[in-house]
Structure 1
Amino acid sequence: MSYIVDDTRDRIDIDVVWGALREAYWGKWRSRDDVATQIRQAWRVIGAYDEQTGEQVGFARAVSDGLGFAYLADVIVLEQHRSHGLGKRIVKAMIDDGPGASFRWTLFTSNAHGLYEQFGFAAPGPTALVRPAAALPAHPTQSALLA
């Protein structure tokens, strides 16, 4: 299969991204509106597309100060398009081939360490601290249903 990877924000299919995130352990809590907001407010987005059909099959977004620090988030490849090196292409496009190539990058993952280690990600050093997220409240739509 052949793919196109680019950073055209207007090409991102929010429904594809939201659908994939609803299946991912880290994205289940987000509504479609949440995902749309995150895409709109992202510093940069990368989309991956099937070259023949034009359908979106992968995604990543980054949050950044635009000068020296970026957070990589929501790297996804639809299941039927995995094992073609597409995840590597998406990460490379985001962190090595874009305007943040010299930035300090950070991310969180529980199951893809091998992928990110290929791009220089490692366990944080003694100067890094992380404040865990608080328990997420029910989404307002869910709260209304429970009332």
Structure 2
Amino acid sequence: MAQAHDLRISSNEAELDIDLIHAFLSRETPWAKGMPRETLERAIAGSLCFGGYIEGKQVAFARVVTDAASFAYLCDVFVLPQYRGKGYASALLTHLLASPSLQGLRRILLATTDAHHVYRPHGFKALSNPGIFMEVHDPDVYKTA
């Protein structure tokens, strides 16, 4: 049985299995349901991405939108269902948060509806002052794209 230490993590974009990432995000997640492939490709091109691999097969993914100086937004984090419960998400987060591009940032944000327990051990907590944040949010954007 594979364990977290068996997970190889890479930020080499050439290694990413775009078909797998697109299929999972666009079919299995509420936040990216229906996302066109070209939208994902643009998102990956403009982000720092991390793939998690077991025996050469991609099983995990995370994307960070950042200026590499003061701010980052962590998004599109997933571990394929059949690989969950082995510490892969934690290993992926540990690796990406140690990335040189993410050191010394003033703020790293993420949004999650049900995985707070995954992120808390890595220093994430509820917004200290949520009233200062605003958003433009179009949950149906992929339905019209």
TM class, shorter-length: 0.7 to 0.9
Task: Determine which of 22, 30, 39 is the counterpart of 1:25.
Answer: 30
Task: Determine which of 83, 92, 95 is the counterpart of 1:93.
Answer: 95
Aligned residues: 137
What TM-score comes out, normalization by structure 1 length?
A: 0.85
Greater Rg by CA: 1
- The alpha-carbon deviation at position 132 of structure 1 amounts to 4.3
**Are residues 1:45 and 2:49 paired?**
yes
More helix by share: 2
Unaligned runs of 5+ in 1: 141-147
Asked if the contact 2:60–2:78 (Cα under 8 Å) also holds between the matched residues in 1, the reply is yes
- The alpha-carbon deviation at position 73 of structure 1 amounts to 0.5
Task: Determine which of 112, 122, 127 is the counterpart of 1:119.
Answer: 122
Asked if the contact 2:11–2:51 (Cα under 8 Å) also holds between the matched residues in 1, the reply is yes
Q: What is the rounded CA distance, in whole Å, between the counterparts of 1:130 and 1:107 in structure 2?
A: 14
Give the alignment's Cα RMSD to 1 decimal: 1.6
Asked if the contact 2:49–2:64 (Cα under 8 Å) also holds between the matched residues in 1, the reply is yes
Asked if the contact 1:6–1:93 (Cα under 8 Å) also holds between the matched residues in 2, the reply is no
Letter in 1 for 2:123: G
Q: What is the rounded CA distance, in whole Å, between the counterparts of 2:80 and 2:134 in structure 1?
A: 29
Alpha-carbon deviations, 1:10-31, whole Å to 9, x = none? 1111111111112011110311
Greater shift after overlay, 88-97 or 130-139? 130-139
Q: Runs (4+) of structure 1 moved beyond 6 Å?
A: none
Query: Quick one: higher RCO (CA 8 Å, sep 6+), 1 or 2?
Result: 2
